[in-house]
Amino acid sequence: MNPESLSFIFLSAFLINNFVLAMFLGLCPFVGVSGKRDTAFNMGLATMFVMFISSVCAYAINTVLVKYELEFLRLISYIAIIASSVQLVEITLKKFSPALFRALGIFLPLITTNCAILGVALFQTVRGYNFLQSVAFSLGAGAGFGLAIMLMAGLREKLELSNLPNITQAAALSMMLAGILSMTFMGFAGLGGSTA
Amino acid sequence: MANPKNTETPLSVQDFTAGLWKENPVFVMMLGLCPVLAVTNTVENSLGMGIATLFVLVCSNALVSALRHLIPKPVRITTYIVIIATFVTLVDYIIQAISLDLYNKLGAFIQLIVVNCLILGRAEAYASRNGFGKSVISATGMGLGFTLALVMLGAVRELLGAGQLLGYQVFSSNFEPWVVMILPPGGFIVLGCWLLLINYIEQRKTGKLLDEESASQCSVPQNQVSS
């Protein structure tokens, strides 16, 4: 596959270089909110949504910064614009679609400054993606995050019923599970070069 | 610990040592996990990342603590993030100037220090309520604890994954490297193993104490019966 093509960028962010399991971004919500499957699903949706918005915003602000040669302000302006645009969307959502807001609402402020969100913005800049490529990248990364957190939640729900030794309290066990999941995802590397 | 009233208490060694082990940001508080796993495939990367985080943590906590009476409450988080982002941009350029090699290896993870919850967490929970000296010392302890955890992970991963330590060959050429340790799954598994080990040690410690207590409690009624 052509590494520049939209489908490749999407698949690469979704499976091959999965944001959580191969690049370790967004681990806090991954460990924190993966207790139940329905919460995990809403969290995944909300993250995908925020990633898409922040990717578009970051692309726009980067174009402006490059034009005026202000690249050293990139980091600060990314954070500011992501935080404020998400807040704006949150307010709009509350007004026009209360049902959707109830599903995603509590997660939106939580994930605004999560490293996966900023990671999408930074990686698309570093790799020099154009607008459509950035959108494909952000959607793939969001879907990948959702997939990983859903898998994790399913595993943890099953494990709640099993008899575990005391020393594998919460975090240690989650790390082990994530390691095994990550190993499974390494299998996708065959789909087309793992260029991180 | 972070009580707003005791800002006048004198500096203590505990402020410094708490972050090193007892409240270690990685192993105990599970903060800032993303860089912990992403860049610890060699000791060199771990050290670079640890020192960069230490620098940002100390500088931003010092500034937050110095400005804590000037920052209005409603916009404090935004202010903290801007302060942190400024120092991260500084570190980003400094590393680029000192070692381009390290800069290329760490990549975007240097800039991602901004969203390391450890730094914002310390700024909000400690620096905004304590004096300048205390904040700097506590931040130094926390940063060193973070670096220690990174190096502990990096050492295991480099040793098993490449048979090297800081670039020097440790095992003979007969050693077959566990490549998986350098790859992403190794990060999760090594951190999981460290946590298991720490849990085990903690449990043995508290378990012994509990045994002694229960033993002494058991002996009391016997004495009463005999008397």
Is B184 in CB contact (< 8 Å) with chain A? Answer: yes
Residue A189 in domain:
no
Here the tokens at position A136 are: 């494909």
Of A24, A80, A122, the CB nearest to B38: A24
**Binary contact (A186, B183; C-beta < 8 A):** yes
DSSP string, A142-177: HHHHHHHHHHHHHHHHHHTTS---GGG-HHHHHHHH
Q: Which residues of A touch B186 (CB under 8 A)?
A: 179
pLDDT in tens, A145-167: 999 989 988 988 888 887 777 66
Does residue B20 carry a pLDDT above 90? no
Question: Which of A72, A80, A182 has the CB atom closest to B185's CB atom?
Answer: A182
Give yes or no for residue A175 having a pLDDT over 60: yes
Q: Is A122 helix (H, G, I), strand (E, B) or coil?
A: helix
How close, in Å, is residue A38 to chain B by CA atoms?
A: 24
Confirm whether A190 is domain-assigned: no
Question: Does the beta-carbon distance from A27 to B33 stay under 8 Å?
Answer: yes
Query: How far does the CA of residue B167 sit from the closest CA of chain A (Å)?
Result: 22
The answer as to whether A167 is a domain residue is: yes
Asked if residue A1 belongs to a domain, the reply is no
User: With an 8 Å Cβ cutoff, is B6 touching chain A?
Assistant: no
Do B113 and B53 form a contact (C-beta atoms < 8 A)? yes
Question: How many independent structural domains does chain A possess?
Answer: 1
Interval B204-214 mean pLDDT = 64
Q: Show which of residues 96-135 on chain B sit within 8 Å of chain A, judged by CB atoms.
A: 107-108, 111-112, 114-117, 120
Asked if the structure places residue A191 within a domain, the reply is: no
Query: What does the pLDDT read at residue B68?
Result: 86
A194 falls within a domain: no
Average pLDDT over residues A121-142: 88
Min Cα distance B29 → chain A (Å) is: 10
Q: What residues contact residue B186 under an 8 Å CB cut-off, 6+ apart?
A: A179, B41, B157, B160, B161, B178, B180
SS in 3 state form for chain B?
A: CCCHHHHHCCCCHHHHHHHHHHCCCCCCCCCCHHHHHHCCCCHHHHHHHHHHHHHHHHHHHHHHHHCCCCCCHHHHHHHHHHHHHHHHHHHHHHHHHHCHHHHHHHHHHCHHHHHCHHHHHHHHHHHCCCCHHHHHHHHHHHHHHHHHHHHHHHHHHHHHHHCEECCEECCCCCCCCCHHHHCHHHHHHHHHHHHHHHHHHHHHHHHHHHHHHHHHHHHHHHHHHHC
Q: If you average pLDDT over residues B175-187, what whole number do you get?
A: 81
- ipTM value of the model? 0.78
User: What pLDDT is attached to residue B208?
Assistant: 63
Closest residue in chain A to residue B193, using alpha carbons only: A172
Task: Give percent above pLDDT 70 in chain B.
Answer: 86
Q: Do A168 and B199 touch (CB under 8 A)?
A: yes
> Does residue A72 lie in a domain region?
yes
pLDDT for res A169:
66
Least Cα distance to A117 among A72, A59, A53 occurs for A53
Least confident of A32-36, A163-167, B113-117, B175-179: A163-167
Who has greater pLDDT, B97 or B126?
B97
Q: What's the whole-number mean pLDDT along residues B5-18?
A: 63
Interchain pair B108, A172: CB under 8 A? no
CB contact under 8 A, B112 and A123: no
Cβ pairs A/B, distance under 8 A? 108
Q: Which residues of A touch B92 (CB under 8 A)?
A: 75
- Are the CB atoms for B91 and A72 separated by under 8 Å? no
- Say if B206 is an interface residue toward chain A (CB within 8 Å): no
- Mean pLDDT across B145-163: 87
Interface of A to B at Cβ within 8 Å reads 21-28, 31, 72, 75-76, 79-80, 83, 113-115, 117-119, 122-123, 126, 166-169, 171-176, 178-180, 182-183, 186
Nearest to B115 among A24, A115, A175 (CB): A115
What residues of chain B lie within 8 A of the CB of A24, using their CB? 33-38, 184, 187
> Span B188-200, mean pLDDT?
86
Answer yes or no: do A166 and B93 touch at CB < 8 A: no
Distance CA A81, CA A72 (A): 15
Question: Which of B38, B85, B116 lies at the smallest CB-CB distance from A75?
Answer: B85
Q: In which domain, by residue range, is A70 found?
A: 6-26+34-184
pLDDT at res. B87: 92
